[in-house]
């Protein structure tokens, strides 16, 4: 009787494949990596079912190699990845690949860096060695706790010869030990940890009454040792992080493990740093900014069970932890939890499923919960806990909305900083306090147009205008990175009067510098922080008081805790409102609420100035009033009226083509086929996507809306299966975050 196993391979859209285990080879277990033939290639896959029945009548190919005798991925993680592959329609292989550290996906056997460790012998000789060098080495070892690396000994002038003599004489033992590349150790060899932004917190300090109430609920939920999801809706500065830290300690003390997801470690190193500061070596970290080596070592520490707590970004939701008692998703509304290419999974939603599969408590936290999570709480699927006050009863920032139509009327159309904002910054400078100024658009000018014919300068590959970056004297596309020098003439009419309009952070920085020449200024956006560690440096400078005014995009609005920031200014609060995306208002509300929440977190109360052309828009009003419920009600009415999530389930399908006609034609065909399937919902479209061309490819789009995801997926799956040649041109996004 032949032994077969089914294997997931990392090829998008492919289902499970069955292979024969050659006779004489021990059948690999679920979660082991195997090398299998696929067409003319060999690929590394993961065993999903170790003893599957061979499909009738098929001739099976043999496994080429078995890389692991023990499961490489824990079976629970295999199951989670399979669920994600199905739910997000990416197939099983892609999600399993996300669950593995990068090098192991390419089929390498696990490799560790080792180094020689020298330690005093367990039973040392009575007589000391004769050589002076040898005696010096023993003294040094004794002084340093009995063990040192050969490298450290060499640095102290003790070479390999001396060590060999000591080993031969039975005075010391030497062995190769795994050397871990420790991402907490320090940034780029600076010796200074880039996690140490802000201070450590004191675990012994008392909780506020409000915190204590929520904490009691959380402890009770954790002790139930069963799946539950609790949404903590707590205003900025209400002390959510302190609750996560304590709850983590509680769960670990009860012998269970903890997974903490954070949106972007590179942008908010302090969050991960707090866990490391409190729990030290029991913490591992997983995110894409680590080197492959660091990631590999951390992953294997987790897999060996040496770690009780993992902090990581999106993909850490697949971390190989067992005995999981708690999953925390910090800033659960953040869009970076959603992966924008296949598998297009949402880290928060996979986390909730993982909690369900492993019987763990899931805690979602935010000052601006996503519409989805709040709707789930209102429907009773999640429990909700509120923190309505800041710790120590610190007030929320007093917020003022400035109508820029009046400013333009009074001071001309070139004003970037309104009077009230200028005065507020001046006051901060004179008192030695700090200001943040947000503009969520980078570059110097966002449009260059011809005054004679009105044509704008567009990207040749994408349907967007090119942004002028003054520092490099180039115009650049923010979608495909196309860049060129600034033309002297209009490409259409050859006119020479080219004008700039629309300004971004680069121009704002120049204006602020001109207005406040003595101030110490820094700018944070994707143009200024390309290098690894650059943002951490700026954040450290702000924390140390070495910056007076920080200008930047949404990157400065993330969960930073800077007690000396007492003013937040928002320039053009409505930049995001014009986008053809049903989440435009939600994003604007979240961004404004979060950035305003950066002000007044210390002892001095904060102030915020919001500049806008739409002072009456509900997302701006609700953010200024820090009124989450008012926003939720209005937004939910809008979503329900137009049938958008979370009122309905949504799948966004984008079909690309060499021409607009090709993309639209194939999309129309898929729409017709989907409509014939067991849909139980509606298909809307196709239409050219709002970004109708990106990187030279035309994009057509259609939506599937309904209430039963399973039926919607099935109908779409069948439609795509009918046109296998389209597979690489169809991008399916279940529960999309962006539909541009
Ligand atoms: P959030 O995550 O809700 O925005 P944080 O957890 O960052 O809030 O807390 C805001 C600030 O208050 C931090 O500096 C934190 O150290 C401090 N803090 C939290 N809880 C307490 C407490 N019980 N007593 C005093 N300070 C606290
Ligand atoms: Zn482009």
C-alpha 379 – ligand 1 centre gap (Å):
30
Predicted pLDDT of residue 143 = 79
Look-up of token digits 């926003």: 631
Judge contact between 229 and 364, C-beta under 8 A.
yes
Q: Distance between CA atoms of 154 and 683, rounded to whole angstroms?
A: 70
Give which of 587, 586, 554 is closest to 568, Cα–Cα: 554
Decide: residue 658, CB within 10 A, 0-12 exposed, 13-18 middle, 19+ buried: exposed
Backbone angles phi, psi at 685, to 5 degrees: 120, -170
Cα angle 323, 273, 186; round to 5: 115
What spacing in Å lies between the alpha carbon of 237 and ligand 1's midpoint? 6
Q: Using CA atoms, how far apart are residues 462 and 118, in angstroms rounded to an integer?
A: 60
Cα of 692 to ligand 2 centre, how many Å? Answer: 11
Say yes or no: CB of residue 355 within 6 Å of ligand 1: no
The reply to whether ligand 1 has any atom less than 6 angstroms from the CB of 600 is no
SS3 category, 602: coil
Coil, helix or strand for 312? strand
Question: Could you tell me if 604 and 209 are in contact, meaning their C-beta atoms sit under 8 angstroms apart?
Answer: no
Query: Phi/psi at 401 (nearest 5 deg)?
Result: -100, 125
Give the pair of three-digit tokens for residue 576: 């995001």
Of all ligands present, the nearest one to the C-alpha of 691 is 2
The residues, ordered by sequence, that sit 6+ positions from 212 with a Cβ below 8 Å of its Cβ are: none
| Rounded distance between C-alpha atoms, residue 369 and residue 635, angstroms | 13
- Residue 235 CA: nearest ligand 1 atom is 3
The enclosing H or E element of 339 equals none
Radius of gyration for the chain, computed over Cα atoms and rounded to the nearest angstrom: 29
Q: Do the Cβ atoms of 282 and 307 come closer than 8 Å?
A: yes
Ligand 1 pocket test target in 201, 205, 209, 242 with most atoms within 8 Å of CB: 242
CB contact set of 649 (below 8 Å; sequence gap of 6+): 681, 705, 706, 707, 708, 709, 712, 735
How far is it between the farthest Cα atoms of the chain? 97
CA distances for 585 relative to 335, 575, 635, angstroms: 14, 11, 8
Q: State the Cα angle at 149 between 143 and 150, rounded to 5°.
A: 110
Burial, 272: exposed, middle or buried (Cβ in 10 Å; 0-12, 13-18, 19+)? buried
- Residue 561 CA to ligand 1 center (angstroms) comes to 9
Contact 506, 470 (CB under 8 A): yes
Ligand 1 lined by 379 (C-beta under 6 Å): no
Cα end-to-end span (Å), the chain: 54
Backbone φ and ψ for 608, nearest 5 degrees, come out as -135, 140
Q: pTM score > 0.85 for this model?
A: yes
What lies within 8 Å, CB to CB, of 387 at 6+ separation is 210, 211, 214, 232, 233, 234, 235, 238, 239, 240
* Distance set, CA 99 to CA 85, 291, 363, 689 (Å): 12, 16, 22, 32
Q: Which ligand is nearest to the CA of 479?
A: 2
Distance (Å, whole) CA 366 – CA 373: 10
Q: What is the DSSP letter of 346?
A: B
**CB of 527 sitting under 6 A from ligand 1:** no
Identify the pLDDT of residue 198: 43
* Strands lying side by side in the sheet with 607-612: 398-403, 607-612, 565-570, 434-438, 549-552, 521-524
| Inter-axis angle of helices 209-223 and 240-253, nearest 10 | 30
Residues 6+ apart with CB under 8 A from 469: 443, 444, 475, 476, 506, 527
Residues, CB within 5 angstroms of ligand 2 (ion): 459, 461-462, 477, 479-480, 482
State how far the alpha carbon of 249 is from the alpha carbons of 244, 255, 258, 492, in Å.
9, 10, 9, 65
Q: Is the CB of 602 under 6 A from ligand 1?
A: no
Give the pairing type, strands 474-476 and 383-387.
unpaired
Supply angle C-alpha 361, 362, 365, rounded to 5: 135
The whole-angstrom separation of Cα 600 and Cα 607 is 7
- What does the alpha-carbon distance between residue 323 and residue 320 come to, in Å, rounded to a whole number? 10
Residue 672 in contact with residue 735, Cβ under 8 Å? no
Q: Which atom of ligand 1 is nearest to the CA of 198?
A: 14
Q: Which residues of the chain carry a pLDDT beneath 70?
A: 1, 105-114, 177-204, 532
For residue 289, give every residue at least 6 positions away whose Cβ sits within 8 Å of its Cβ, in sequence order, or none.
265, 266, 532
What is the number of the ligand 1 atom nearest to the C-alpha of 238?
Answer: 3
Q: What is the CB-side half-sphere exposure of residue 208 using CA atoms within 13 A?
A: 15
- Of the candidates 279, 276, 282, 281, the residue with the CA atom closest to the CA atom of residue 262: 276
Helices (H), 491-571: 505-515, 534-543
Q: What is the 3-state secondary structure (H, E, C) of 174-241?
A: EEEEECCCCCCCCCCCCCCCCCCCCCCCCCCCCCCHHHHHHHHHHHHHHHCCCCEEEEEEECCCCCHH
User: What is the DSSP code string of 674-715?
Assistant: HHHSS-SEEEEEEEEEEEEEETTEEEEEEEEEES-HHHHHHH
């Amino acid at each position: 009787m032949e032994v077969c196993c089914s294997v997931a391979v990392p090829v998008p859209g492919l289902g499970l494949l069955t292979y024969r285990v050659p006779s004489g080879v021990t059948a690999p277990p679920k979660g082991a990596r195997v090398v299998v033939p696929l067409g003319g290639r060999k690929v590394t896959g993961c065993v999903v079912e170790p003893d599957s029945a061979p499909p009738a009548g098929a001739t099976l190919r043999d496994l080429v190699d078995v890389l692991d005798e023990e499961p490489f991925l824990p079976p629970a993680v295999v199951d989670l990845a399979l669920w994600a592959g199905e739910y997000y329609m990416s197939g099983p292989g892609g999600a399993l690949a996300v669950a593995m550290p990068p090098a192991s996906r390419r089929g390498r056997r696990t490799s560790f860096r080792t180094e020689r460790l020298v330690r005093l012998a367990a039973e040392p000789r009575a007589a000391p060695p004769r050589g002076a060098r040898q005696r010096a080495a023993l003294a040094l070892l004794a002084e340093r706790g009995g063990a040192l690396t050969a490298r450290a000994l060499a640095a102290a002038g003790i070479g390999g010869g001396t060590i060999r003599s000591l080993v031969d004489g039975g005075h010391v033992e030497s062995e190769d030990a795994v050397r871990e590349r420790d991402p907490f150790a320090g940034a780029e060899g600076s010796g200074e940890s880039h996690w140490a932004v802000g201070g450590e917190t004191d675990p012994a300090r008392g909780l506020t009454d409000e915190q204590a109430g929520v904490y009691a609920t959380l402890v009770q939920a954790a002790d139930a040792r069963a799946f539950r999801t609790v949404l903590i809706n707590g205003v900025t500065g209400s002390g959510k992080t302190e609750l996560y830290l304590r709850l983590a300690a509680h769960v670990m003390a009860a012998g269970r493990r903890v997974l903490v997801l954070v949106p972007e470690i590179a942008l908010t190193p302090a969050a991960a740093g707090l866990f490391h500061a409190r729990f030290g070596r029991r913490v591992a970290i997983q995110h894409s900014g680590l080197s492959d080596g660091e990631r590999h070592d951390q992953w294997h520490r987790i897999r060996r069970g040496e770690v009780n707590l993992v902090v990581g970004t999106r993909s850490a939701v697949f971390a190989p932890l067992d005995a999981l008692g708690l999953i925390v998703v910090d800033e659960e509304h953040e869009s970076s939890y959603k992966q924008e290419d296949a598998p297009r999974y949402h880290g928060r939603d996979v986390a909730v499923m993982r909690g369900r599969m492993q019987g763990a408590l899931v805690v979602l936290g935010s000052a601006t919960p996503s519409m989805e999570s709040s709707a789930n709480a209102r429907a009773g699927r999640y429990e909700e806990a509120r923190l309505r006050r800041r710790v120590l009863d610190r007030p929320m920032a007093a917020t003022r909305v400035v109508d820029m139509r009046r400013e333009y009327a009074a001071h001309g159309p070139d004003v970037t900083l309104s009077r009230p904002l200028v005065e507020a910054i001046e006051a901060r400078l004179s008192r030695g306090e700090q200001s943040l100024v947000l503009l969520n658009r980078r570059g110097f000018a966002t449009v260059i147009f011809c005054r004679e014919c009105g044509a704008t300068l567009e990207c040749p590959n994408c349907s967007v205008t090119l942004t002028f970056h003054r520092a490099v004297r180039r115009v650049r596309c923010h979608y495909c990175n196309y860049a060129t020098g600034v033309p002297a003439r209009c490409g259409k009419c050859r006119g020479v009067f080219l004008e700039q309009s629309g300004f971004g952070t680069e121009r704002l920085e120049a204006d602020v510098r001109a207005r406040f020449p003595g101030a110490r200024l820094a700018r944070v956006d994707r143009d200024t922080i390309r290098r690894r560690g650059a943002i951490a440096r700026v954040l450290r400078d702000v924390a140390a008081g070495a910056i007076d005014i920080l200008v930047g995009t949404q990157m400065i609005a993330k969960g930073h805790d800077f007690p000396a920031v007492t003013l937040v200014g928002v320039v053009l609060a409505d930049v995001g409102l014009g986008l053809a995306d049903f989440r435009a208002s939600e994003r604007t509300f979240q961004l404004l609420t979060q950035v305003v929440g950066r002000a007044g977190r210390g002892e001095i109360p904060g102030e915020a100035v919001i500049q806008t052309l739409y002072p009456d828009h509900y997302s701006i009003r609700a953010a200024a009033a820090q009124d989450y419920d008012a926003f939720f009600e209005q937004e939910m009415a809008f979503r329900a009226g137009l049938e958008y999530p979370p009122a309905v389930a949504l799948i966004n399908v984008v079909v690309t083509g060499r021409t607009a006609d090709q993309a639209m034609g194939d999309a129309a065909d898929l729409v017709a086929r989907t409509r014939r399937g067991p849909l139980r919902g509606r298909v809307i479209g196709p239409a050219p996507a709002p970004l109708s061309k990106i990187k030279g490819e035309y994009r057509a789009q259609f939506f599937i809306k309904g209430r039963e995801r399973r039926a919607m997926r099935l109908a779409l799956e069948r439609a795509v299966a009918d046109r296998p040649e389209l597979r690489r041109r169809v991008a399916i996004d279940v529960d999309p975050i962006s539909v541009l």
